[in-house]
Amino acid sequence: MDLKGAVALVTGGNGGLGQRICHALAREGAHVAVMYARSRDQAESVASELTSRYQINARAFACDITDGAAVDRLVGEVTRAFGHLDVLVNDAAYNVSIPFGDLDNLTLEAWDKIMAINLTGPMRLTKAVAPVMKAQGRGRIINIASVAGLSPTGSSIAYAVSKAGLIHLTRCMAVALAPETRVNCVAPGLLDGTRATANLRAEQIERSASGSLLKRPADKDDCADMVVAMCRTETMTGQTVVIDSGRIFH
């Protein structure tokens, strides 16, 4: 897909990785819908910067992706505002730190919230954009998972399971939406400068990075560039690409 003139909806577009994805898509000439759940000012600032820097159209849209009616409204609003919708990037996520051995604090409330945002939310969004992309005869859906979905790691069991589910949702939706829509997934390792690492000390990040072949955290720009590559490709679907500086082999 040629991204020049395409329209991309990026959930969590005001976050650390989400912003990089928005910039990478806009740099290729795509118009961008920056979706946020909170931090309206930040999302509008991102949209304004995209518009001025890349001479494309960008707007901020609020949505609670745990609300099915709100998701349907969002897709309708974006489609009406831009005229079409070609790319969905499911980057919005939620996490809370609960050590794997601390099952007492792995409450159903925490589990349900993580699943609702990290797994059910992308499923709702995918279902909502599917008929739009089918009618257009083309579409790209890219899910942002995590290496925690491929190995029992991460800040909580619920987070790891939600990302494992998102990886398999990618495969299943690739089957369901072929041949018009390609569905792929990026699974980053530890990314410095994101909400997920905001509470980690520098030495914790360095210690984690030292366990990788490249001795460094994963790079947000590499992840954003992979999203662009997944949009461009014509014969890739149902796949998950790991970007983690060589910590796990998938």
Helix, strand, coil abundance in the chain, percent, nearest 5: 50, 15, 35
Q: How many CB atoms lie within 10 A of CB 160?
A: 21
Residue 62 pairs in a beta bridge with: 36
User: Is residue 156 a part of any domain in this protein?
Assistant: yes
For residue 2, being part of any structural domain is answered with: no
In a domain, 219, yes or no: yes
Averaged pLDDT, 227-240: 98
Reported as a single tens digit per residue, the pLDDT across 198-214 is 445 565 566 667 777 88
pTM value? 0.93
pLDDT confidence bin for 153, thresholds 50/70/90 = confident
Domain-located, residue 166: yes
In a domain, 1, yes or no: no
Determine the Cα–Cα distance for residues 210 and 47; give it in Å rounded to an integer.
36
pLDDT of residue 101: 95
CATH number of the CATH domain containing 99: 3.40.50.720
Supply the range of the domain harboring residue 35.
7-243
* 115-129: pLDDT as tens digits: 999 999 999 999 999
The tens digit of pLDDT for each residue in 12-53 reads 999 999 999 999 999 999 999 999 999 999 999 999 999 999
The total of other beta-carbon atoms located within 10 Å of residue 173's CB is 24
Domain count, the chain: 1
The set of catalytic residues is 159
**In this predicted model, which residue has the larger pLDDT, 191 or 173?**
173
Q: Tell me, what's the pLDDT at 197? A: 47
* Token representation of residue 184: 């792929």
Which of 65, 67, 56 has the alpha carbon at shortest distance from 8? Answer: 56
What is the C-alpha separation between 131 and 136, in angstroms, rounded? 9
Give just the sign of the alpha carbon dihedral 184, 190, 194, 196: positive
Flag whether 87 is in a domain.
yes
In a domain, 250, yes or no: no
